[in-house]
Amino acid sequence: MTIHFPFQNTYSALPANFFARVAPTPVAAPRLIKLNRALAVHLGLDPDVLESPEGAEILAGKRLPDGADPIAMAYAGHQFGQFVPQLGDGRAILLGEVIDKDGVRRDIQLKGSGPTPFSRRGDGRAALGPVLREYIVSEAMFALGIPTTRSLAAVITGESVMRETMLPGAVLTRVAASHIRVGTFQFFAARGDTNGVRALADHVIARHYPDVAKAERPYHALLEGVVARQADLLARWLLVGFIHGVMNTDNTSISGETIDYGPCAFMDEYNPAQVFSSIDELGRYAYANQPRIALWNLTRLAECLLPLFSDDQDKAIEQAQFILGEFAEKFTAAYQTGLRKKIGLFTARDGDEALVQDLLDAMAKNTADFTLTFRRLSDAAGDEAAVADVRAQFTDPAAFDEWAVRWRQRFAEEPQSAGERQVAMRAVNPAFIPRNHRVEAVIAAAVNKDYAPFEELLTVLSKPYEDQPEFADYAEPPLPDQRVLRTFCGT
């Protein structure tokens, strides 16, 4: 059977030093674990074909679809602040690009598909656990309304991979607006290849920021666009308690999507200093540090673009600093607007920022669950009887009582009804997130060839803002003996 994907490949048409042409390494006995049928249809692909044995072979890299032009992309990056001049796709291969039903170009990439010239002595493979984690969390982020790469399929390979122990091997089919990163620009800038930086910038403008192509200063406008998208993305992360875990420049997407779900996690108890990544020993990528790190990463991008700004380096630096200076304002505006919505405010007034911050401070001091506090607060906005459920999140309920007096006083300044406020709050405060202990339980079951918990968790997370009484337990935080405090990279 010949399986055709409607590929329209543009990245592989760039100069040869942008990538390495390499085919996936065939695997022994691929078997489909999960196909995202709705996403397949949106990409113009036939889900019935992809669910066939031949489709599973394509999704595992054993067979190439007609029209594929497989490549591993070159990039560099700062990893925990240390620059590595060559990284690249060490275990991922881009099959090609398709145009989805919305007219948006999307990469289709196999992750865990074998070694490439960028593998750095790695085996190029992926274990089942990290594949399922990325599938779960990326699709949860999509359902939450946060820009993200997505998961088209997970396939078990029939082979084992050696990590600390032997584990089942798997391949994730990842879909992204593109896989171009800050580190992609750094790859060329580090080599003094200004023509490469310009070619990449022109490609990014055409693909992600077409409106800036006619700007008087298109490269300045490109940086402005990336700054704006990252500021919005980081605000969205914080508003749902998400911690990326490894915000290296090679994990910072130029398109403004969340990419590379390694040691990521959602907070249970609210703690601004929360870290889950086992390798982030100094807390560089802690929850509250993420906006600062995003700006640091964007500054590295700006450095790459300086030769395109002006031949006068001092002038170029001044222009870049001005654009970078907009990040804090854009992030703060998006974050504060989101926080007001989370506590049910429809307008912005003096004192709102302090009101929300006082709630967050009380939550931190009283080990309140981040997601449940805001969800229960949504209920309390329309039902006084639900206040008890909010108070129960605080070790000292009086801390909430004191804040709630001011909260209700603030309501009185707006004309919306209690019912309107409750509906608006429930639309931004999810009931369900991919809690660490749930994800780990799913992975443990899958390693034992039980995928039912994986399917059920995906079902729950696909409707995060609905109550789903039959799955109410999934909204609950972990018991003390269920807590997962460390997450690991998916290498």
Q: Kindly list the catalytic residues.
A: 250
Single-letter amino acid code for the residue at 282: L
Taking the C-alpha atoms of residue 485 and residue 478, their distance in angstroms, rounded to an integer, is 11
**Angle subtended at Cα 73 by Cα 168 and Cα 102, rounded to the nearest 5 degrees:** 90
Count Cβ atoms below 10 Å from residue 90 Cβ, excluding itself.
17
Residue 192: count other Cβ atoms within 10 Å of its Cβ.
10
Cα distance between residue 284 and residue 270, in whole Å: 18
**Separation of alpha carbons 130 and 115, rounded Å:** 17
What are the residues facing 20 on neighbouring strands?
Answer: 72
* CA contacts within 13 A on the Cβ side of 234: 30
A 10 A CB-CB count for 408 gives 12
Amino acid at 86: Q
105: buried, middle or exposed (CB in 10 Å: 19+, 13-18, 0-12)? middle
Contact present, 142 and 150 (Cβ < 8 Å): yes
Residue 321: exposure state from Cβ atoms within 10 A (0-12, 13-18, ≥19): exposed
